[in-house]
Amino acid sequence: MDRDFKALESIKHIILVLSGKGGVGKSSVSVQIAYALKEQNKKVGILDLDLCGPSIPRMLGVEGSKILQDTNGWVPVYVTPDKGLGVMSIGFLLPDKNSAVVWRGPKKSAMIKQFLTDVYWGDLDYLIIDTPPGTSDEHLSVIENLQNVKPDGAVIVTTPQVVSLVDVRKEINFCKQVNLPVLGLIENMSGYVCENCKECTNIFSTGGGKSLCDELGYKFLGYVPIDPQLGIMLDNPSGKESDDSGSTNSFISAYKSSPLFETFKQIATTIQN
């Protein structure tokens, strides 16, 4: 392996999370996949490469953390005391949470390479890479810099609407062009489960993601319905402040009570197979 990428040597599996368009819940899916793997006794890292919209630190309650450096490189910010889930994001390097990243492509590419070469994850079972929407400079930079590592592949996130599925086809074509295997597709926001009666209502539609997988021969990883409690957990992950409903939550402690936890446990198991 190129000596510049020595930090990736001890990572067993690398998975990219992609989406054809924004607003489909890609980052929340990345977080839930990572947490489900961690709960299956895997040591997991999340690399947040959405440089212009780094939301994962906020979701996991580590916003405002500072990056430390040792002789091996940057040290990830750990979400859990056992260091079973670590995070690296440009959000840790910005002056404050309202700072905008106004960079041209070459600077973004340089930052991505630095994240891939200078972060010392140690021994990891899985590195989940959360990417920006679409097929842009950032995606090409990631693929180019991972050539010698050979990532496992991509999990693609869509919603049931036709406009999202059209963009997913573009994302799949991108994967083909850069020889990145597609591990499967997740249909997010696929229905809304009522908290009282538990009936699932298909607000947008449903089944488009599975139909696309059946048509193109890819693995369908599962339907993920809307859970209002997930939004509360991710908006207020530390539990230090009350949200609009007056409740407090910690994502790490509260997520297991969400019906989505069981869904993503199954998704994580399927990805490993």
Whether 244 contacts 199, CB under 8 Å: no
Q: Does the annotation place 10 within a ligand binding site? A: no
Q: Does the annotation place 23 within a ligand binding site? A: yes
Q: Does the annotation place 197 within a ligand binding site? A: yes
Structure tokens at 209: 């993601």
Q: Does the annotation place 122 within a ligand binding site? A: no
Q: Does the annotation place 200 within a ligand binding site? A: no
Identity at 266, one-letter amino acid code: Q
- The phi, psi pair for 254, rounded to 5°, reads -90, -25
Q: Does the annotation place 22 within a ligand binding site? A: yes
- The phi, psi pair for 221, rounded to 5°, reads -90, -20
DSSP string, 114-147: HHHHHB---SEEEEEEE--SSS-HHHHHHHHHTT
Taking the CA atoms of 232, 236, 237 and 241 in sequence, report the sign of the dihedral they define: negative
User: H helices of 146-242, where?
Assistant: 162-177, 208-216, 228-235
Q: Does the annotation place 21 within a ligand binding site? A: yes
CA 100 to chain centre: 21
Closest CA to 253 of 231, 270, 238: 238
From the annotation, which residues make up the binding site for ATP?
Answer: 20-27
Instruction: Could you list the residues known to form a binding site, using ranges.
Output: 20-27, 194, 197
Binding residues for [4Fe-4S] cluster: 194, 197
